[in-house]
Amino acid sequence: MDQQSANRPVFAPWNDPNEKPLIRFQNVTKKFGEFIAIDDLTLDIYRREFFALLGPSGCGKTTLMRMLAGFEKPTTGTILLDGQDIAPIPPNRRATNMMFQSYALFPHLSVWDNIAFGLKRSDMPADKIGARVEEMLRLVRLEKFAKRKPHQISGGQRQRVALARSLAKAPKLLLLDEPLGALDKKLRQDTQFELMDIQEKTGTTFVIVTHDQEEAMTVASRVAVMDHGRMIQVDTPDRIYETPNSVYVADFIGDVNIIEGTAAPKGEGMVAIAWAEGQPEIAATPAGQVAKGARVHFAIRPEKVAITTEKPEGRANAIEGAVHDIAYLGNISTYKVEVAGGRMIKAQVANDRRISRRDISWDDRVWLSFTDTAGVVLLS
């Protein structure tokens, strides 16, 4: 492990106390009338990060981005960009550029002129602009479409023009507002990788707003889960997924089973969670101390739950139930199993056999099992 990290340094400036953040939100609050869009938010974003703001609509993620672009001013608190308070700087003087959700391409200008638009407003000499536009066109592979108007190209191409336009001025910070929302799933996935590629090539700091958790997980170096103007958790995608800090985050990201129960310490750093009358307690490993008798939520991902027809040997937890429903998704199947007290627990299994050879069917008695480290214990 040590040797590996010596050879290939892991990109994690947020763990380095000497690293200076590019953006620093300090106790930022934004109110629209009585409505609090951003609530006392403090956050650091580092250079070269691909930072995702994730949350349901109305959670304040777009407001946060618009404050970075300069279209909104914080009601209280300060936002520092490179150590400088950006509140008094109007959008046209900020070293940030934004890629709009609607792309906001100028319909009366060609692709070439759209990309050149920002450069012409800068102090770049005219002869350099052409070269820079060509470079951007190459980057997004649109050389052949330079003369076209935005309505003469496809949605995916428009999205790439918007990206090229916002990158052309080489901003310190690129803001992406739901950049892939209008694309269909296949194209979106391709574009996500393209975005990551471009981010790596240009070394620009990206802040992306999205409500698509899969997208955030795919592209981001860190994900911030927001709700009601607050940061609920800011962490790397794997930690957000594996160790959510709250029921909200666990529930928001991916699929999850949440079982409520009463915890009691048991042995070395373990707890036993009583969750239903007459059922064996769930053995789990909490991150911290859990007091005896505390109400807890036990969260476990469906793919970490195994499903068998016989009671498995040597698993820390095994719960019996009946198959209520099976969702067949091609590569995987999700089994909804009814256990004691009518509670449903989902188990997800890779379909490594053909469907005709599947040995579990509706209403079968089955055993669900998982290890004592598979789930997360969340204090209520």
**Which residues of this chain interact with another protein, rule CB under 8 A?**
69-71, 90-93, 96-98, 100-102, 104, 106-108, 117-118, 121-122, 151, 165-166, 169
Residue closer to another protein, measured from CB, 100 or 367: 100
> CB of residue 104 vs another protein: minimum separation in angstroms?
4
> Closest CB to another protein among 69 and 207?
69
| β-sheet with 84-85: strand ranges across | 35-45, 23-32, 76-81, 84-85
- Residue 120 C-beta: closest distance to another protein, Å: 8
DSSP codes, 324-347: EEEEE-SSEEEEEEE-GGG-EEEE
Minimum Å gap between C-beta 189 and another protein is 25
Q: Which is nearer to another protein, 158 or 222 (CB)?
A: 158
Shortest spacing between CB 56 and another protein, in angstroms: 22
Instruction: Report the distance separating Cα 284 and Cα 298, nearest Å.
Output: 8
In the complex, the smallest distance separating the C-beta of residue 108 from another protein, rounded to whole angstroms, is 5
- C-alpha 80/C-alpha 25 separation (Å) is 6
Q: Which is nearer to another protein, 8 or 151 (CB)?
A: 151
Q: Which is nearer to another protein, 71 or 328 (CB)?
A: 71
Question: Which strands make up the sheet holding 376-379, listed edge to edge?
Answer: 282-284, 271-274, 257-265, 295-300, 376-379
The smaller minimum CB distance to another protein, of residues 151 and 354, is found at 151
Helix (H) or strand (E) holding 128: helix 126-139
Cβ closer to another protein: 104 or 276? Answer: 104
Largest CA distance in the chain: 80
Q: Which two tokens stand for residue 114?
A: 């759209």
Instruction: Name the minimum Å distance from CB 54 to another protein.
Output: 22
Quick check: 179 and 102 in contact, CB under 8 A? Answer: no
Please report how close the Cβ of residue 89 comes to another protein at its closest, in angstroms.
12
The answer to whether 86 and 71 have CB atoms below 8 angstroms apart is no
Taken in order 342, 346, 352, 354, the sign of the CA dihedral is positive
Tell me which residue of 321, 318, 314, 296 sits closest to 305, measured CA to CA. Answer: 318
